[in-house]
Structure 1
Amino acid sequence: MFQLEMHYEIHSEQIYQFLYFITFDVQLAEDLMQETFIRAYEARHSYRGDANVLTWLRTIARNIAYDHFKRRKRIRFLRLEENIMIELSAEQLVHIEEEKRELYQAIASLKLNYRMAIVLRKIEGLSIKEAAEILGWNEAKVKNNTERGMLALKKAMGGDLHG
């Protein structure tokens, strides 16, 4: 059984971070995270328990992000336009070191599929199988998008990518 309060307390930060790296917008990530938990609560009776709760929540979050971009027609934009600028407040800029800012800008410049694969595999440390389950892809697609994304990320960082 899905217990909203408990799972929100345990998983909200991870869902927020996942959505932040997809959107690079603090307020939007917060809104989509809230929507994720609302939809999870509404669908709690359909949760079969065969997947990890966090995997189930990330899948819901991914679907909500896709829905948001479709409504805004941004998926098409993200696929065609690879140079997306991150807008950060002055306060946020003060707290983010130069290297992190450059990395975030490089990640934001990636195609959405590359970004999602890298966020799940390299930032959140999920296995190929776990990422495939969340993204609704086969494992080969996860592996290919991760590898291609890392190459694109390395290029965006001027060849300076550790790890």
Structure 2
Amino acid sequence: MPDMSHDRKKEEISDWYFTHSDAILKFILLIVRDYQQAEDLTQETFVKAYKHYESFKGTSTPKTWLFSVAHNVTVDYLRRNKPIVLFKDFFGSYSVDKNPLPEDIVEIKEESKELYDAISNLKYSYRKIIILRKMKEFSTREAGEILNWSESKVKSTLSRAMVALEKELNKGGNSNEAISKTAKRS
């Protein structure tokens, strides 16, 4: 992208924040399973996007580039805090928060709880690819850009992840309805 004034850059990042911060927060939340930490990492994502704005070349969409930044920020966080994050209970972390989350932020409906529980039990790479491809509806190419994976790795990992998700859902005695809904998305 061409050099732009400080004000224009600030305005562009602000627009991107307004447009994409909610989706990025939800993406990070599904990975780290801690609302406060997801908020912090979302903020860090946009600070890094601002600092490294010049690295956005416009070859991908701003959304794809921001999700890539969010992914990298989240991976860095997980590397620093792996033992803490791995043993947190997905829904238990919400109950620690004294202020309940607004429904429009979390959007976890009762009938989807089993699906989110099952996804949270999957290994990290499977969780990431299901979230990006099936929940956030990124294309194979876009998911590959975000994760820095080849398209064939995205496809094969997604295939294995969907099998693992189905097993996880069946383990809990859940119907295949949730997996069918997820599999039908892009």
TM-score in terms of structure 1 length = 0.86
Contact 1:16-1:29 within 8 A present in 2 as well: yes
Residue 113 (structure 2) aligns with: 101
Residue 98 of structure 1, CA deviation:
3.4
**Stretch deviating more after TM superposition (19-28 or 131-140):** 19-28
Aligned: 1:89 with 2:95: yes
> CA deviation digits over 1:34-86, x for unaligned, max 9?
000000001112221212111110011000111001111349x85xxxx8631
Which of 29, 42, 47 aligns to 2:51? It is: 42
Task: Tell whether the 8 Å contact from 1:40 to 1:57 is kept in structure 2 after alignment.
Answer: yes
Equivalent residue, structure 2, for 1:129: 141
Matched, 1:162 2:168: no
Structure 2 counterpart SS, 1:85: coil
Q: Assess if the C-alpha contact under 8 Å between 1:33 and 1:61 holds in 2.
A: yes
| Partner SS state of residue 31, structure 1 | helix
Alpha-carbon distance between aligned partners in 1 of 2:81 and 2:180, rounded to the nearest angstrom: 34
Question: For this pair of structures, how many residues does the alignment match?
Answer: 157
Describe the superposition over 1:84-109 as per-residue Cα deviations: whole angstroms up to 9, x where unpaired.
631232846x9854332211111110
Decide whether the 8 Å contact of 2:33 with 2:89 is kept in 1.
Answer: no
- What is the letter of the counterpart of residue 159 of structure 2? E
> 2: distance between equivalents of 1:54 and 1:143?
21
Contact 1:121 1:131 in 2 (8 A): yes
Partner-residue secondary structure (3-state), 2:73 = helix
Counterpart secondary structure, 2:180 = coil
Instruction: Look up the equivalent residue of 1:89 and give its one-letter code.
Output: S
- Paired residue for 1:14? 23
Task: Indicate whether 1:57 and 2:77 are aligned.
Answer: no
Percent identity over the alignment is 41
Q: Secondary structure at the match of 2:137?
A: coil
Distance 1:53 1:147 in 2: 27
**Structure 1: which 4+ aligned runs deviate by more than 6 Å?**
none
**Which amino acid in structure 2 is aligned with residue 154 of structure 1?**
E
Q: Tell me which amino acid in the other structure corresponds to 2:56.
A: Y
Q: CA deviation at 1:114?
A: 0.5
Q: CA deviation at 1:29?
A: 1.1
Alignment equivalent of 1:68, drawn from 77, 81, 84: 77
Gaps of 5+ in 1: none
